[in-house]
Structure 1
Amino acid sequence: MIFESLWSCYNGLPIDNKVDSLRHSLQNNIPIRILCNHKGIHIKNSSMHQSVSPYLSLLNQIIWQECENFYFPTPKIRQWLQEQGSLSQLMRNYCQALSVEVLRHDWQATTWLAAQEQSLLGSPHRVLVRQVLLSGDETPWVIGHTLIPQLDHSDLSNRLFQLGSSSLGDFVFQSDDVQRDVLQVAKVNTEDGVLWARRSRLQMAYQPMLVTELFLPDAPVYVKENTQ
């Protein structure tokens, strides 16, 4: 097993919620690389990361459209892309176990954000960047990419920093004070065929967050309904 470690943690960094992912990799002899510093933790499972990395690169190439201007080819695709509740909860209806693997979880300056992202988030100076892979019964279904600005008047972003491998949707939608005030959708053409994506701005206790969800080829949204 290949194990590379760069360990420069500061005291008090919340790393307990990363233990399960690390233990899984160690027990299954999966090559991993751990990067840890004061900004956050990257746990990269090499075999898994290689399988989804081509899709990660698509996130910055998506052309978003408003729902009212978008053609939904089937009612099922419309249902998934316009789901107003927790996508995690919807996916649980199609599997025995839904898992969350953290690909990235760290603070970044916002100089690299697209102009539209800056505008949707109110031009923050610093954001928490969270990328996860959601899998149903160990099959990759969705890549989630979330930007959460750090606000002086709110500690919610710091609480979300400690989320670890818990579902963001489970955390957000257990609150009564949450709304989705922007929803955009996209058709993404790839070498593997058409993929679907959506981007939401959620407001939770006056804390905005921009959530992008890219549906991978094995996601339930692509499964044809039984018409019989």
Structure 2
Amino acid sequence: MSSKFDIAGENWKRNPSPSMSPQQKDWLTRRGSLTWHLQLMGHVTLEVLSECMVPADSDQNGCLAVPLRASLWMREVMLLVEGNPMVVAHSVTPLQDSRSIWKAMRRLHTRPLADILYFDRAVERSMLVNRLLFQGHRLYRCAMKYGRDPNLRSRLWARRSVFIRHGAPLLVTEAFLPRFWRSLYLRDREYYER
């Protein structure tokens, strides 16, 4: 993985906070496809929230090694388990790469990004980093708008990594809604009460 992509960027941490629960640490560092892992909880569907061109912000420009305000192609989605929104995610790549090396992301429709990331040997993945997202972050605003979660207040735990294919970066950021953590807690409690 090239060192020119600054995945840690603004306030992203390589290791989860010691104050996190074991479940939080596990899900924020779990490798492989998040969609596949969510299938352990039930039937997963994906809603596409937005696909459009956006300018690179001060955090994305370091991750993607592009100038500030460079044109990016963005895809925002909601992952639902048994019809309940659990995760909001967005993927961004330089606009020119979305028309060439990463053009498959424009044709996914309601299929998960995992369909093009985990079957291509040319794709490398950076380490995962994590942080709390607050109200100013685009993905937090997306969660507020589409998350349908009354317990969403001031922050969301999120993780991200960069996928590289033939030198072209694709930044994937995934934020877990409070409903996700509650669902895990209730499932574990039910298991231990048996």
Among 53, 65, 71, which residue is 1:126 paired with?
71
Name the SS for the 2:178 alignment partner: coil
Unaligned runs of 5+ in 1: 1-62
Return the offset for 1:148.
Answer: 1.3
Could you tell me which residue of structure 1 aligns to residue 148 of structure 2?
Answer: none
CA distance in 2, matches of 1:203, 1:175: 11
Return the offset for 1:68.
Answer: 2.9
CA distance in 2, matches of 1:189, 1:117: 16
Residues 203/216 of structure 1: CA separation in 2 closer, same or farther (3 Å cut) = same
Residues 64/198 of structure 1: CA separation in 2 closer, same or farther (3 Å cut) = farther
The 5-angstrom pairing of residues 16-55 of structure 1 reads none
Could you tell me which residue of structure 1 aligns to residue 59 of structure 2?
Answer: 116
Could you tell me which residue of structure 1 aligns to residue 13 of structure 2?
Answer: 66
Query: Deviation per CA, 1:139-197, whole angstroms, max 9, x where unpaired?
Result: 10110111111346x81222221121110122211222322214221134686456321
Amino acid at match of 1:127: L
Among 136, 159, 162, which residue is 2:81 paired with?
136
Confirm or deny: 8 A CA contact 1:94 1:220 kept in the other structure. no
TM-score after normalising by structure 1? 0.62
CA distance in 1, matches of 2:64, 2:123: 16
Structure 1 segments of 4 or more deviating over 4 A? 188-191
CA distance in 1, matches of 2:38, 2:28: 12
Q: Do structure 1's residue 105 and structure 2's residue 51 form an aligned pair?
A: yes
Return the offset for 1:137.
Answer: 1.1
Amino acid at match of 2:30: E
Larger RCO of the pair (alpha carbons < 8 Å, separation 6+):
2
CA distance in 2, matches of 1:69, 1:89: 22
Name the SS for the 1:223 alignment partner: helix
Amino acid at match of 2:107: Q
Confirm or deny: 8 A CA contact 1:121 1:208 kept in the other structure. yes
Number of matched pairs: 162
Return the offset for 1:199.
Answer: 1.8
Could you tell me which residue of structure 2 aligns to residue 165 of structure 1?
Answer: 110
CA distance in 2, matches of 1:114, 1:150: 14
Amino acid at match of 1:216: L
Among 175, 185, 205, which residue is 2:120 paired with?
175
Could you tell me which residue of structure 2 aligns to residue 205 of structure 1?
Answer: 166
Confirm or deny: 8 A CA contact 1:200 1:211 kept in the other structure. yes
CA RMSD of aligned residues (A): 2.7
Q: Which has the higher strand share?
A: 1
Unaligned runs of 5+ in 2: 1-9, 136-150
CA distance in 2, matches of 1:69, 1:94: 23
Query: Deviation per CA, 1:102-154, whole angstroms, max 9, x where unpaired?
Result: 1111233x2xx3222101111163211100111011110110111111346x8
Identity of aligned residues (%): 24
TM-score after normalising by structure 2? 0.72
